[in-house]
Structures are given as C-alpha cells and as structure tokens.
Amino acid sequence: MMTVTDLDCLRGQKRVLSGVSFSLAAGDCLILRGPNGAGKTTLLRTLAGLSPAPRGTVSATPDDLVYTGHLDAVKPQLTVTENLTFWQGIYQNAPADTLARFDLHELAERPAATLSAGQKRRLGLARLHVSGRRIWLLDEPTTALDADHVARFTAILTDHCSSGGIAIVSTHLDLDLSRAQTLNVADFAAPNGNGSSTSDDPFLQGSY
C-alpha cells in the first residue's frame, strides 16, 4: 500500500540518507530507530513532501498522508474546541469522538495557552484523527505525554492500523505495538563527503 524505493533525503543542501527502501501493507506500523541526528525527522519530512527528494520514489500520494512534527500546530489564543474546529474545516472532516479519544473532554473550553505541554501535545495529535487520512507520519509523538497517555495513544495507533491504516513513527520509547516493524535509519546513512549534490535549486520540483 505504501512503497518507498531508493529514496534519498536532504537536510538543507546535504544528503543525509540514501537508498531508503521499504514496503508497507495496509495495517502495518513502522518504527524508525536511530541515534539523534541520524535522519529520522528528515526521512519523515521527505515522505510528507515538505523536503524534496532528489532521487527515489514514494508510492503514496500526498492526499493520503498526514504529518505531525515536533511542534503541535496549536494556536494558544483559541480554545481546544476552536482549534479542533479549525482543523475540521481544513480537512472537511468532523469525526464526533475526537475529544473523547484524546481525553480532551474536560479541557474543551480551555484556551490552549493554559494547557500543559502534554495536554497541548494531545491536542496536536488529535489533528491526526480529524484528518481522516490513512498514512500517519509521526515524529516523536509521545514527547511530553505521561505513561497513561502513552498507553492510550498506543491504543489509538493500534486501532488505526487494525482498521487498515499505516503509521510510520519515529520514537525512542518502546511502544507496545504487536505488529510493528522496525527500520534503523542509521543503516541508510549517506556516505560522507558526498558533495555532488544535484539539487542546489531551491525551487526543485517534487516537494508537495
């Protein structure tokens, strides 16, 4: 359902990963591992189409993907409900149980500025559910979540995959996912001194 072949990834002008290949079927979950700076975020951003790929192909179309990065994309001036309503308007999709799933019921009318880091993260992750998209690209989704909510989020992830979705997660935690595959990003590190970057063009086509 999602095939990545021979993908190269750039961070700025520098090639950090080369020849990344994997294939995921509906219901699969892929955990990205690797030390800090190995290129997990870079790979996820390239898959999401935020960074252009100089070489290689990703079979999924951008309309199937939803990406959450280190930042929560939460507006502090708006309440939790207003934040969610905004994303519902953007994705033209309004699932009824988003608040309940992410344990945001009691916070619904609070301005997001008064949320704790973990609560804000949950609100940020709720966007995944609102998007209704099949392939989730998650960059360290469990940062700032307490143990209880990590378990809760793992359950949401399992639920998403068992209903035919795909998740690619970069994390340092051991998430309790039964069917997860693991990909060590460090295995694809680009050889050093590879200065022959073909893509100095900032307007390179191929980013989303």
Distance CA 69, CA 40 (A): 11
Give yes or no for residue 70 binding other proteins (CB under 8 A): yes
Closer by beta carbon to other proteins, 136 or else 188: 136
Nearest Cα neighbor of 82 from 74, 71, 92, 70 is 74
Shortest approach of other proteins to residue 183 CB, angstroms? 21
Give yes or no for residue 66 binding other proteins (CB under 8 A): yes
| 201 contacts: CB under 8 Å, gap ≥ 6 | none
Give yes or no for residue 95 binding other proteins (CB under 8 A): no
Closer by beta carbon to other proteins, 22 or else 86: 86
Closer by beta carbon to other proteins, 69 or else 95: 69
H and E: helices and strands count for the chain: 5, 8
Give yes or no for residue 207 binding other proteins (CB under 8 A): yes
The only residue of 24, 65, 126, 145 in contact with other proteins, by rule CB under 8 A:
65
SS3 of residue 113 by DSSP = helix
Segment holding 109, helix H or strand E: none
Give yes or no for residue 71 binding other proteins (CB under 8 A): yes
Shortest approach of other proteins to residue 135 CB, angstroms? 11
Give yes or no for residue 96 binding other proteins (CB under 8 A): no
Give yes or no for residue 61 binding other proteins (CB under 8 A): no
The only residue of 90, 108, 117, 155 in contact with other proteins, by rule CB under 8 A:
90
Distance CA 42, CA 139 (A): 10
3-state secondary structure 45-94: HHHHCCCCCCCCEECCCHHHEEEECCCCCCCCCCEHHHHHHHHHHHHCCC
Residues making contact with other proteins (CB under 8 A): 10, 48-52, 62-63, 65-78, 82, 85-86, 88-92, 124, 127, 131, 202-203, 207-208
